[in-house]
Amino acid sequence: MGKLSVIPLFTFLLFLSVIDTKANQYTMLSPTGTIKVNIEENGGRLEYSVRYENLVIIKPSSLGMTFSDGIDFTKGLKLEQAEHRKVNETWEQPWGEVKTIQNKYNEYTFWIKKLGKKMKLCFRLFDDGVGFRYEVPDNVGFGKVEITDEITRFNMNAKDEAWWIGAYQKNSYEHLYQKTPLSQLTDTVHTPLTIETENGKLVSIHEAALFDYASMTLAPDRNGGLKCDLAPWPDGIKVKTEAPFKTPWRTIQLAENAAGLMTSYLILNLNEPSKIEDTSWITPGKYVGIWWEMHLKKSTWAQGANHGANTNNVKRYINFAAKYGFKGVLAEGWNYGWDGNWPADGSNFRFYEPVPDFDMDELSAYATKKGVKLINHHETGGDVANYLEQVEQAFEFSKKYNITTVKTGHVGHYLNGEYTHYGQFAVEYYQKVVELAAKYHIMLDVHEPVKPTGIRRTWPNMMTREGARGMEFDAWSRDGGNPPSHIEILPFTRLLGGPMDFTPGIFEMTLPSRPNNRSNMTLAKQLSVYVLIYSPLQMAADLPENYEGNPAFQFIVDVPTDWDITLVPEAKIGKYLTVVRKDRNSEDWYLGSATNEDSHKITVDCSFLEKNARYTAEIYRDAPDAHWKNNPKAIIIEQKEVNSSSKFEIQLAEGGGAAIRFKKNN
């Protein structure tokens, strides 16, 4: 793994007219014509609409924004075509769900003019969706600006059904998804917002390349309309900036079915190429750590008799990681600041000062000897001012001890007591940490983050983040944990933005220390999550003693975190999902399949395997009497010889799953 490669097939610039159907109206087409976008200036107002396979997806919807100085770029506007560009190139990810991505689109740029001021409106049409954004160049009449509103709308049909979580709630994005018609949305909602139209098409509305701007939420009306609602500063201003600036891309991903939506890479394509030239230090992998035991009340983050991150306990995890080939060991609670009510006051956290019973010198040397790396944890308690004062010294400390991955945390409803996790303040804060981390060759796993918008293409040390309900909710959530359907929803909602540190791999599904909670899936489904929920950093989250001696653990040992190819043979959001991925560093393939509360039978069609080759299928599946609630550990582990012509069936239990390694025979 080294420098990023971009392989241009053809790129050229055409100063042509797009299809001009009438005065001040333009029609834009995707490369194959599958998607058509109309933009029209009507009475000084701008509207666009989107058709997919000649079906109306987005009805005429407004464009524009307003500013605090009274400038209103929503009316009295004149639209002029600027240029048309076609691009077709491929590029390689240093890590990811696939190695090579095609970036093929038609770009159309317009000038919007009003009273001596002007801005650009840029559309990129792919065959799997649309991206558009506003651009304000230098010397076009703007200086410092305060954006008070962006009136971008996405008008759909009221009966179209959406999977959504409310915005501006406590715990940011960590909520269970609801499914309702658009007309019944009861709250402003986060993106990605995934919608199934009345004619069965799948749509995801999100944004790409979120830099130096407020993130977009969507405010609904009863008619199926959705309006851009930018997360505000405390004074109500949405964005504070100056020319030149660009908004994030507003994105509309389109697919025939859920599988097509999951394998769209439009969000990544709308981000700029990597700013890190040499990516050889950015390495995916699996880790274990002192984390789940605190959620089980076995140990504590704070100092005391039951402190989890003590030297001997960390050594135990290092030994376990080394034995099974895991890359890293996370030790939460290693530093000062965990004593007292830190979620209310994070000012006592010190990010380069270990507590007395955590011997960093000894542990770093011990880990290095064992071929394992420590993973530093920087919990801020939301006090990011305190963190920014120390972050460079903290990264220097990490590098001194051969720590190349840092997990950051931002527990609390607000940052610094007043800023949401998704306003412009937060976006700029998170970005500053990403760029500083790159300077020190540090990879990041961000918890309580701003949502992902594909910036991992530009900053590939931004490995993974939380930003949804992960496995920890199974340990203590008052509703008893994530329901069985949760795994079948996440890949089509939150994960459309980017990877998630879900922290799977819980083998003891019932929790004696928390009798009202459990992990609501079978053991075989726990294994399937390593394939279904993508993250370049994957945790084996359970206690080492729960893995030792359990033959099902072998799948977690074997499964990689970096992929060459990803396929989705079948998917229905919230019901079932099957994903097949090829390892980037071997000839092996892996399959994960899972279902919700209902049982489900899958047919494994091995046509993805190399022709004229033989493989051993190592199968981990639900036993006939398995059940997510009544008998979650019942599993069958078996092998069979297969080739590309092979087909076989597997029955998934209620709340169950299957995981398969296809090992190529020599």
Catalytic residues: 472
DSSP 488: G
Question: What ranges in 264-359 are assigned the alpha helix state H?
Answer: 266-269, 292-295, 311-324
Are 386 and 374 in contact by the 8 Å Cβ rule? The answer is no
- The contacts of residue 549 (CB under 8 Å, 6+ apart) are none
Torsions phi, psi of 408, nearest 5?
A: -105, 150
Cα–Cα dist 620/630, whole Å: 19
Measured CA distances, 360 to 163, 169, 234, 371, 506 (Å): 45, 38, 40, 16, 28
Torsions phi, psi of 532, nearest 5?
A: -75, -45
Are 419 and 382 in contact by the 8 Å Cβ rule? The answer is no
Are 505 and 320 in contact by the 8 Å Cβ rule? The answer is no
Are 21 and 15 in contact by the 8 Å Cβ rule? The answer is no
Are 375 and 286 in contact by the 8 Å Cβ rule? The answer is no
Reply yes or no: is the peptide bond before residue 452 cis, omega within 30 of 0: no
The two structure tokens encoding residue 381: 């308690």
Beta strand pairing call for 462-465 and 443-446:
parallel
Closest CA to 652 of 604, 599, 577: 599
- Total H helices, total E strands in the chain: 11, 38
Are 506 and 547 in contact by the 8 Å Cβ rule? The answer is no
Cα–Cα dist 86/13, whole Å: 7
Tracing tokens 């100063």 back to the chain, one arrives at 15
Cα–Cα dist 488/396, whole Å: 40
Rama region for 433: left / alpha / beta (φ>0; ψ in -120 to 50; rest): alpha
Q: What is the DSSP string of 186-224?
A: -S-B-SSEEEE-TTS-EEEEEEE---SSPPEEEEE-TTS
H or E element that contains 66: strand 65-67
Measured CA distances, 608 to 62, 363, 646 (Å): 44, 44, 10
Residue 186: how many CB atoms within 10 A of its CB? 10
Residue 138: how many CB atoms within 10 A of its CB? 10
Cα–Cα dist 42/35, whole Å: 22
Are 375 and 407 in contact by the 8 Å Cβ rule? The answer is yes
Q: What is the DSSP string of 237-264?
A: -SEEEESSEEPPEEEEEEESSHHHHHT-
Are 95 and 562 in contact by the 8 Å Cβ rule? The answer is yes
CA dihedral 609, 615, 616, 620 (to 10 degrees): -10
Closest CA to 73 of 48, 45, 39: 45
Closest CA to 589 of 573, 605, 576: 605
